[in-house]
Structure 1
Amino acid sequence: MKSIFIDCNDQLAPVWAKVIRPDDPAITVHHTDRVGDELPQVIGDNEIALDDHSYMPTSLVAQCPRLKHIVFLGTGAASYMNIAELKERGIAVHTIKGYGDTAVAEHTIALMFAAARDVARMDRDVRAGAWTPREGMQLLGKTLGVIGIGGIGGEVVRMAKGLGMNVIAYNRTPRADTPCPLVDLDTLLAESDVVSLNLVLNDETRGFLSHERIARMKPGALLVNTARGALVDEQALIDALKSGDIRHAGLDVFHNEPLKADHPLAQLPNVTLTAHAAFRTAEASMTLLRRAIDIVKTIGT
């Protein structure tokens, strides 16, 4: 089947060159950071499209009559396309799990430290000529609440225990074997000094951390989100950050990406921002692209 990688950016291009093999199916590589309204022209008559992080609205995909499969590089396809609508059009969306659990968990811990110690804010101050030491939160002995105890959440638990944190978790479905005590969501929100979101985004979890749930969080808690921006009521989060009910947020994901410089979250001093990069390590990227190629091979046989 004719295939194209629609948005191979400069960071992924050298990784692609390392993982592609002579016996792999032919896959056209379109070099760009992100595809926009030109999506139908880029896809053309290809039947399989590999998508890193380009939005694929149904209205544009409908102009790609030969497209039958989308291989999304990650788990969060629902943030970039309407999977149900595409299924109705006979287009299957394939996602890739588990390729970067450790990478995302490490980034989660990094954001937790940055939020606890105001690292980014002090960095900005020093660069601007202001010497303002800020009192941070010591994490030893504090309670971390992990929402979603899948592969990434499990790695976050493992790392946080190594730091001497008390770790509790909430999972939407029962689990027999968990690396830490499971509690109900209200208990987690009320008791956690740090809350880490590690849920998959779908119709049931969209807006999961609602205004009401944010109001139940422990006053002055930290929030870290390396999962999906749409899991959180954005305006409620902004309000809680402005009031100090949430002391600091470490965010790698947003409702609309890239985040614009004039967005309210980018204007708040008690927010540490990264560019949806939690999974971006050489090791994770190599695993991700190799699995994507293998999916294309499976589809074509």
Structure 2
Amino acid sequence: MAPLKIAVLDDYQGLSEPHFRTLEPTRYDVTTFKDTLLPYNHPDTPQSVKDELVKRLEPFTVICTMRERTPFPRELIARLPNLELLLTTGTRNAALDLEALRERGIPVGGAVDNTTTRATGADSTTQHCVALVLAAARNIVPDDASVKSGGWQTSYAAGLSGKVFGTVGLGRLGAHVARIMNIAFGMKVVAWSSNLTQEAADEKAKSCGLPVEGPDGEKTFKAVSKEELFKNADVVSIHLVLSDRSRGIISSKDLEVMKPSSIFVNTSRGPLVVEEDLVSILEKGLIRCAALDVFNLEPLPQDSKWRTIEWGQHGRSQVLLTPHMGYVEKGTLDAWYQHQVENIRRWEKGDDLLCSFF
């Protein structure tokens, strides 16, 4: 009997390999891919690259994905006749066409990370967001480059104490980051999302262990209009789930009213922001800095404006970029890969999958 062919996609760090080596090599043929091809359903993806992706994936019975790095739209699924099991990391994956997979009878299993303390807001994305805010405010990257090139003090930091932190979205991540900025730096917190009420913001403050009101009588988490948030916040941080409704929800109309001294941070999803509008604002130097961990197209193409423009020079804003690292911790990835291996064994036995999507 031929070994079961398994593909592990987009494992940039090679962390999956020791976990998948626990599968018996005589029964399982595992191939690991450390690069990502352009998404099948992206408008800029040529047909030749789509065909290359199909050629890569077509031989495999089991495909293990890493988050949303490789989308699986209906058109791609239809071209993978050998696919019988699709495993993803995390507990949801908006890049999978679940209806098409269900129609094909292809089970989908997720993976849970039990290594972080989500209840206290200690998860990796929260930490990364706070790190970006601090790096942008304290001018860390330009100052590092200056010292290493022989320079010294060439700019100045932006203080956070007593300033306004604006969170677009007050779910788990938005509230946890807001809590830290409020407690650690004394920042006033304002929040907006399409359905946010002051009552809901008060309940979120309570769930974070904060009083509804501060000593000055101001709401700890103050629900405001979208325009008021972008106009008054010294730091604007995005914490929304990407959906058809939220795609492009932040545009030039919002960005143009930001303070010249303000900082814009996105650790959620690139397409929440109209990328061309953000690039334009930054090229004109209309805000202090943008700190971005997510982009419309990932990994960033080599000719992307984010890579090629000389940010922070000739009147342009500073731009701090990280390669979608908000969730990338070794413990998290190890836990996810362990769950994927366990799900393969469960599937072969006919047992229920861990974190089944259906």
Q: 1:133 to 1:104 in 2, by over 3 A?
A: same
Counterpart pick for 2:204 among 178, 181, 199 = 178
C-alpha separation in 1, matches of 2:194 and 2:29: 40
Quick check: 2:11–2:33 contact (8 Å CA) kept in 1?
Answer: yes
Q: 1:260 to 1:44 in 2, by over 3 A?
A: closer
Counterpart pick for 1:13 among 4, 12, 15 = 15
**Structure 1: 5+ residue stretches without partners:** none
C-alpha separation in 1, matches of 2:240 and 2:28: 32
Q: Secondary structure at the match of 1:30?
A: strand
2:158 alignment partner in structure 1: 137
Q: Deviations over 1:71-109 (max 9, x none)?
A: 33247844x556666666666666667766610111101
For 1:283, the aligned partner's letter is G
Quick check: 1:224–1:250 contact (8 Å CA) kept in 2?
Answer: yes
2:6 alignment partner in structure 1: 4
C-alpha separation in 1, matches of 2:268 and 2:171: 12
Q: Secondary structure at the match of 2:288?
A: strand
For 1:236, the aligned partner's letter is D
Q: Give TM-score, length-normalised by structure 1.
A: 0.81
Counterpart pick for 1:40 among 49, 54, 59 = 54
Would you say 1:264 and 2:305 are equivalent positions? yes
C-alpha separation in 2, matches of 1:172 and 1:94: 31
Q: 1:184 to 1:34 in 2, by over 3 A?
A: same
Give the paired residue count: 296
Would you say 1:30 and 2:31 are equivalent positions? yes
Q: 1:224 to 1:35 in 2, by over 3 A?
A: closer
2:65 alignment partner in structure 1: 51
C-alpha separation in 2, matches of 1:142 and 1:19: 48
Would you say 1:166 and 2:188 are equivalent positions? yes
2:250 alignment partner in structure 1: 209
Q: Deviations over 1:158-203 (max 9, x none)?
A: 3212232222222444547302333332222222110111212121
Counting only pairs closer than 5 Å after superposition, residues 56-75 of structure 1 correspond to structure 2 as: 56=72, 58-67=74-83, 69-74=85-90
Q: Deviations over 1:237-280 (max 9, x none)?
A: 01111223221011111111222344222322210011111111
Q: 1:110 to 1:49 in 2, by over 3 A?
A: same
2:209 alignment partner in structure 1: none
2:278 alignment partner in structure 1: 237
Would you say 1:200 and 2:201 are equivalent positions? no
Quick check: 2:163–2:234 contact (8 Å CA) kept in 1?
Answer: yes
Q: Deviations over 1:202-251 (max 9, x none)?
A: 21111111222222434432111111111111111011112232210111
**Structure 2: 5+ residue stretches without partners:** 38-48, 206-220, 313-317, 352-358
Q: Deviations over 1:26-63 (max 9, x none)?
A: 87542222243544344345454221123445444322
C-alpha separation in 2, matches of 1:110 and 1:87: 40
C-alpha separation in 1, matches of 2:285 and 2:105: 48
Q: 1:211 to 1:293 in 2, by over 3 A?
A: farther
C-alpha separation in 2, matches of 1:94 and 1:217: 42
Percent identity over the alignment is 29
